[in-house]
Amino acid sequence: MEPTTSRVINAPATRITQAFARAREEGRGVLIPYFMCGYPSAEQSARIIVAAAEGGADLIELGMPFSDPLADGATIQHAGQLALERGMSVKGCMEIARQVSAQTTVPLIFMGYYNPILAYGVERFCQDASTHGVSGLIIPDLPPEEAEQLQQAAKQNGLALIFLIPPTTPEERIERIAEMVASGNGGFIYCVALSGVTGERKELPSHLQGFIERIRTHTQKYQIPLAVGFGLSTPEHIATVTSYADGAAVGSALVTLIDRNDEKTQIDAVRQYIQSLSQK
Protein backbone atom coordinates (compact mmCIF):
# COMPACT_ATOMS: atom_id res chain seq x y z
CA MET A 1 0.00 0.00 0.00
CA GLU A 2 1.02 3.61 -0.53
CA PRO A 3 2.15 5.44 2.62
CA THR A 4 -0.56 7.63 4.09
CA THR A 5 1.55 10.75 3.62
CA SER A 6 1.55 10.57 -0.17
CA ARG A 7 -1.13 10.66 -2.81
CA VAL A 8 -1.92 7.59 -4.87
CA ILE A 9 -0.69 7.99 -8.45
CA ASN A 10 -3.56 7.86 -10.95
CA ALA A 11 -5.99 7.83 -8.04
CA PRO A 12 -9.72 7.56 -8.84
CA ALA A 13 -10.09 10.91 -7.02
CA THR A 14 -8.20 12.70 -9.81
CA ARG A 15 -11.30 12.20 -11.99
CA ILE A 16 -13.19 14.55 -9.63
CA THR A 17 -10.44 17.17 -9.91
CA GLN A 18 -10.49 16.80 -13.70
CA ALA A 19 -14.29 17.27 -13.82
CA PHE A 20 -13.97 20.61 -12.00
CA ALA A 21 -11.04 21.66 -14.20
CA ARG A 22 -12.97 20.81 -17.37
CA ALA A 23 -16.03 22.78 -16.25
CA ARG A 24 -13.85 25.74 -15.26
CA GLU A 25 -12.25 25.76 -18.72
CA GLU A 26 -15.75 25.74 -20.24
CA GLY A 27 -16.84 28.65 -18.04
CA ARG A 28 -19.53 26.80 -16.11
CA GLY A 29 -20.20 25.04 -12.83
CA VAL A 30 -20.12 21.32 -12.13
CA LEU A 31 -23.55 19.64 -11.87
CA ILE A 32 -23.78 16.95 -9.16
CA PRO A 33 -27.07 15.01 -9.00
CA TYR A 34 -27.79 12.64 -6.10
CA PHE A 35 -29.54 9.27 -6.41
CA MET A 36 -30.43 6.78 -3.69
CA CYS A 37 -29.02 3.36 -4.51
CA GLY A 38 -31.87 0.86 -4.67
CA TYR A 39 -34.61 3.44 -5.25
CA PRO A 40 -37.03 2.68 -6.76
CA SER A 41 -35.25 -0.69 -7.23
CA ALA A 42 -31.64 -1.82 -7.61
CA GLU A 43 -31.95 -2.40 -11.35
CA GLN A 44 -33.89 0.77 -12.05
CA SER A 45 -31.62 2.99 -9.95
CA ALA A 46 -28.62 1.86 -12.02
CA ARG A 47 -30.47 2.69 -15.26
CA ILE A 48 -31.54 6.10 -13.89
CA ILE A 49 -27.99 6.97 -12.81
CA VAL A 50 -26.63 6.15 -16.28
CA ALA A 51 -29.38 8.35 -17.78
CA ALA A 52 -28.22 11.24 -15.57
CA ALA A 53 -24.70 10.81 -16.89
CA GLU A 54 -26.06 10.89 -20.43
CA GLY A 55 -28.04 14.02 -19.57
CA GLY A 56 -24.93 16.00 -18.65
CA ALA A 57 -24.07 15.26 -15.00
CA ASP A 58 -20.41 16.01 -14.22
CA LEU A 59 -20.25 14.03 -10.96
CA ILE A 60 -22.89 11.73 -9.44
CA GLU A 61 -23.56 11.09 -5.76
CA LEU A 62 -24.72 7.58 -4.96
CA GLY A 63 -26.71 7.56 -1.73
CA MET A 64 -26.22 4.58 0.58
CA PRO A 65 -29.48 4.03 2.52
CA PHE A 66 -29.30 4.03 6.32
CA SER A 67 -31.92 3.50 8.99
CA ASP A 68 -31.08 6.69 10.91
CA PRO A 69 -30.23 9.38 8.31
CA LEU A 70 -29.69 12.50 10.46
CA ALA A 71 -29.00 14.94 7.60
CA ASP A 72 -31.73 13.75 5.25
CA GLY A 73 -35.08 15.46 4.85
CA ALA A 74 -38.36 13.57 4.45
CA THR A 75 -38.01 13.03 0.70
CA ILE A 76 -34.61 11.31 0.81
CA GLN A 77 -35.52 9.48 4.03
CA HIS A 78 -38.51 8.02 2.19
CA ALA A 79 -36.32 6.84 -0.70
CA GLY A 80 -33.77 5.35 1.69
CA GLN A 81 -36.41 3.51 3.70
CA LEU A 82 -37.89 1.97 0.57
CA ALA A 83 -34.44 0.98 -0.67
CA LEU A 84 -33.70 -0.75 2.66
CA GLU A 85 -37.07 -2.52 2.63
CA ARG A 86 -36.26 -3.79 -0.86
CA GLY A 87 -32.97 -5.28 0.31
CA MET A 88 -30.38 -2.61 -0.54
CA SER A 89 -27.12 -2.96 1.39
CA VAL A 90 -23.58 -1.58 1.24
CA LYS A 91 -22.67 -4.57 -0.93
CA GLY A 92 -25.64 -3.76 -3.18
CA CYS A 93 -24.44 -0.14 -3.47
CA MET A 94 -21.03 -1.42 -4.55
CA GLU A 95 -22.70 -3.50 -7.26
CA ILE A 96 -24.68 -0.50 -8.54
CA ALA A 97 -21.45 1.55 -8.66
CA ARG A 98 -19.77 -1.26 -10.62
CA GLN A 99 -22.64 -1.44 -13.11
CA VAL A 100 -22.76 2.33 -13.61
CA SER A 101 -18.98 2.82 -13.88
CA ALA A 102 -18.90 0.17 -16.61
CA GLN A 103 -21.22 2.35 -18.70
CA THR A 104 -20.00 5.91 -18.04
CA THR A 105 -16.80 7.79 -17.19
CA VAL A 106 -18.63 10.29 -14.94
CA PRO A 107 -16.98 10.12 -11.49
CA LEU A 108 -19.11 8.50 -8.76
CA ILE A 109 -19.19 9.56 -5.12
CA PHE A 110 -20.68 7.47 -2.31
CA MET A 111 -22.72 9.57 0.12
CA GLY A 112 -23.74 7.81 3.30
CA TYR A 113 -23.41 7.47 7.05
CA TYR A 114 -20.46 6.13 8.99
CA ASN A 115 -22.10 3.27 10.89
CA PRO A 116 -22.60 0.95 7.89
CA ILE A 117 -19.01 1.67 6.81
CA LEU A 118 -17.70 0.68 10.25
CA ALA A 119 -19.81 -2.50 10.13
CA TYR A 120 -18.49 -3.31 6.65
CA GLY A 121 -14.91 -2.54 7.70
CA VAL A 122 -13.28 0.80 6.90
CA GLU A 123 -10.28 -0.59 4.98
CA ARG A 124 -12.39 -3.11 3.08
CA PHE A 125 -15.00 -0.48 2.28
CA CYS A 126 -12.46 1.90 0.74
CA GLN A 127 -10.74 -0.87 -1.17
CA ASP A 128 -14.03 -2.19 -2.57
CA ALA A 129 -15.30 1.32 -3.39
CA SER A 130 -12.14 2.00 -5.38
CA THR A 131 -12.29 -1.28 -7.32
CA HIS A 132 -16.03 -0.80 -8.02
CA GLY A 133 -15.51 2.52 -9.80
CA VAL A 134 -16.03 5.05 -6.99
CA SER A 135 -13.87 8.19 -6.84
CA GLY A 136 -14.87 9.81 -3.53
CA LEU A 137 -16.83 9.63 -0.28
CA ILE A 138 -19.15 12.08 1.53
CA ILE A 139 -20.01 11.06 5.10
CA PRO A 140 -22.36 13.68 6.64
CA ASP A 141 -22.19 12.39 10.23
CA LEU A 142 -18.40 12.05 10.42
CA PRO A 143 -16.76 15.12 12.01
CA PRO A 144 -13.27 16.00 10.72
CA GLU A 145 -11.90 15.44 14.22
CA GLU A 146 -12.92 11.76 14.05
CA ALA A 147 -12.13 11.15 10.39
CA GLU A 148 -8.48 10.07 10.56
CA GLN A 149 -9.09 6.33 10.11
CA LEU A 150 -11.37 6.80 7.12
CA GLN A 151 -9.19 9.52 5.63
CA GLN A 152 -6.12 7.29 5.75
CA ALA A 153 -7.98 4.35 4.20
CA ALA A 154 -9.47 6.63 1.53
CA LYS A 155 -6.07 8.10 0.74
CA GLN A 156 -4.43 4.67 0.48
CA ASN A 157 -7.09 3.58 -2.00
CA GLY A 158 -7.01 6.74 -4.12
CA LEU A 159 -10.37 8.11 -2.95
CA ALA A 160 -11.25 11.70 -2.07
CA LEU A 161 -12.86 12.22 1.34
CA ILE A 162 -15.21 15.17 0.92
CA PHE A 163 -16.25 17.18 3.99
CA LEU A 164 -19.40 19.21 4.52
CA ILE A 165 -19.25 22.76 5.88
CA PRO A 166 -22.53 24.26 7.17
CA PRO A 167 -23.02 28.03 7.64
CA THR A 168 -22.46 27.81 11.42
CA THR A 169 -18.88 26.50 11.05
CA PRO A 170 -16.26 28.66 12.83
CA GLU A 171 -13.24 29.98 10.92
CA GLU A 172 -10.65 27.71 12.58
CA ARG A 173 -12.69 24.61 11.70
CA ILE A 174 -12.99 25.69 8.05
CA GLU A 175 -9.22 26.15 7.99
CA ARG A 176 -8.68 22.68 9.48
CA ILE A 177 -11.00 21.08 6.89
CA ALA A 178 -9.23 22.91 4.06
CA GLU A 179 -5.89 21.54 5.31
CA MET A 180 -7.31 18.00 5.49
CA VAL A 181 -8.70 18.15 1.96
CA ALA A 182 -5.43 19.57 0.64
CA SER A 183 -3.49 16.68 2.23
CA GLY A 184 -5.73 14.07 0.59
CA ASN A 185 -6.21 12.91 -2.99
CA GLY A 186 -8.13 15.98 -4.10
CA GLY A 187 -11.88 16.37 -4.32
CA PHE A 188 -13.87 19.38 -3.19
CA ILE A 189 -15.68 20.86 -0.19
CA TYR A 190 -19.45 20.45 0.05
CA CYS A 191 -20.90 23.75 1.27
CA VAL A 192 -24.26 23.22 2.95
CA ALA A 193 -26.59 25.99 1.79
CA LEU A 194 -28.52 26.08 5.07
CA SER A 195 -28.43 24.51 8.51
CA GLY A 196 -30.76 21.56 8.98
CA VAL A 197 -31.75 18.69 6.71
CA THR A 198 -31.93 18.26 2.96
CA GLY A 199 -35.02 19.19 0.96
CA GLU A 200 -36.20 21.36 -1.93
CA ARG A 201 -36.49 25.09 -1.26
CA LYS A 202 -38.12 27.70 -3.49
CA GLU A 203 -35.54 30.38 -2.77
CA LEU A 204 -31.85 30.36 -2.02
CA PRO A 205 -30.74 31.68 1.39
CA SER A 206 -29.73 35.35 1.29
CA HIS A 207 -26.47 34.63 3.13
CA LEU A 208 -25.25 32.02 0.64
CA GLN A 209 -22.86 34.06 -1.50
CA GLY A 210 -21.23 35.63 1.55
CA PHE A 211 -20.89 32.18 3.12
CA ILE A 212 -19.13 30.82 0.03
CA GLU A 213 -16.80 33.83 -0.06
CA ARG A 214 -15.97 33.22 3.63
CA ILE A 215 -15.01 29.59 2.90
CA ARG A 216 -13.05 30.68 -0.17
CA THR A 217 -10.72 32.79 2.00
CA HIS A 218 -9.52 29.51 3.56
CA THR A 219 -9.49 27.31 0.44
CA GLN A 220 -8.13 29.60 -2.28
CA LYS A 221 -4.50 28.95 -1.44
CA TYR A 222 -5.10 25.22 -1.91
CA GLN A 223 -7.29 25.69 -5.04
CA ILE A 224 -10.00 23.47 -3.54
CA PRO A 225 -13.28 23.60 -5.51
CA LEU A 226 -16.45 24.51 -3.62
CA ALA A 227 -19.81 22.89 -4.39
CA VAL A 228 -23.15 23.90 -2.87
CA GLY A 229 -25.97 21.55 -1.90
CA PHE A 230 -29.15 21.21 0.21
CA GLY A 231 -32.28 22.75 -1.28
CA LEU A 232 -31.29 23.37 -4.92
CA SER A 233 -33.87 22.30 -7.51
CA THR A 234 -34.24 24.70 -10.47
CA PRO A 235 -32.06 25.82 -13.39
CA GLU A 236 -32.15 29.32 -11.82
CA HIS A 237 -30.77 27.93 -8.55
CA ILE A 238 -27.94 26.19 -10.40
CA ALA A 239 -27.09 29.26 -12.50
CA THR A 240 -27.06 31.54 -9.44
CA VAL A 241 -24.99 29.23 -7.25
CA THR A 242 -22.43 28.45 -9.94
CA SER A 243 -21.89 32.16 -10.56
CA TYR A 244 -19.93 32.21 -7.27
CA ALA A 245 -19.26 28.52 -6.47
CA ASP A 246 -17.64 25.80 -8.57
CA GLY A 247 -20.49 23.31 -8.49
CA ALA A 248 -24.05 22.58 -7.40
CA ALA A 249 -25.68 19.42 -6.05
CA VAL A 250 -29.32 18.41 -6.53
CA GLY A 251 -30.94 15.62 -4.54
CA SER A 252 -34.47 15.83 -3.16
CA ALA A 253 -35.89 17.24 -6.41
CA LEU A 254 -34.66 14.14 -8.25
CA VAL A 255 -36.22 11.76 -5.72
CA THR A 256 -39.52 13.65 -6.13
CA LEU A 257 -39.23 13.44 -9.93
CA ILE A 258 -38.64 9.68 -9.81
CA ASP A 259 -41.56 9.33 -7.40
CA ARG A 260 -43.91 11.19 -9.75
CA ASN A 261 -43.12 9.02 -12.77
CA ASP A 262 -43.73 5.34 -13.39
CA GLU A 263 -40.95 2.97 -14.35
CA LYS A 264 -41.48 3.50 -18.08
CA THR A 265 -41.02 7.29 -17.94
CA GLN A 266 -38.51 7.70 -15.07
CA ILE A 267 -35.38 7.34 -17.19
CA ASP A 268 -36.39 9.91 -19.82
CA ALA A 269 -37.71 12.26 -17.11
CA VAL A 270 -34.40 12.18 -15.25
CA ARG A 271 -32.33 12.61 -18.42
CA GLN A 272 -34.41 15.61 -19.50
CA TYR A 273 -34.32 17.19 -16.03
CA ILE A 274 -30.53 16.89 -15.86
CA GLN A 275 -30.31 18.42 -19.34
CA SER A 276 -32.45 21.35 -18.14
CA LEU A 277 -30.04 21.96 -15.23
CA SER A 278 -26.85 21.41 -17.20
CA GLN A 279 -25.05 24.46 -18.56
CA LYS A 280 -23.18 22.50 -21.22
pLDDT of residue 66: 87
Please name each of the domains of the chain with its CATH number: 29-277 (3.20.20.70)
Amino acid making up residue 216: R
Q: Which residues of 82-106 are buried (b: 16+ CB within 10 A; e: fewer)?
A: bbbeeebbbebbbbbbbbbbeebeb
The confidence score (pLDDT) of residue 205 equals 74
d(CA 225, CA 219): 8
* Phi/psi of residue 11, nearest 5 degrees: -65, 145
- DSSP-assigned states of every residue in 76-132: HHHHHHHHHHTT--HHHHHHHHHHHHTT--S-EEEE--HHHHHHH-HHHHHHHHHHT
Gyration radius (Cα) of the chain, Å = 17
Q: Which of 279, 252, 258 is nearest to 270 (CA)?
A: 258
Query: Per residue in 155-174, pLDDT tens?
Result: 999 999 999 999 999 999 99
Q: Which residues are catalytic?
A: 61, 72
In the prediction, which pLDDT does 234 show?
A: 86
* pLDDT-above-90 percentage for the chain: 79
Q: How confident is the model at residue 86 (pLDDT cuts 50, 70, 90)?
A: very high
Q: CB-based contacts of 154: which residues, under 8 Å, 6+ apart? A: 126, 137, 160, 161, 184, 185
Rounded mean pLDDT, 42-56: 97
Q: Which residue has the higher pLDDT, 258 or 235?
A: 258
pLDDT for residue 3 is more than 80: no
Beta bridge partners of 226: 189
Do the Cβ atoms of 76 and 233 come closer than 8 Å? no
**pLDDT in the model for residue 279:** 66
Weakest-pLDDT range from 75-79, 89-93, 219-223, 252-256: 75-79
Q: Which of 161, 222, 146 has its CA nearest to residue 12? A: 161
Provide the 3-class DSSP secondary structure of residue 25: helix
- In the predicted model, what is the mean pLDDT of residues 65-94? 86
pTM above 0.95, yes or no: no
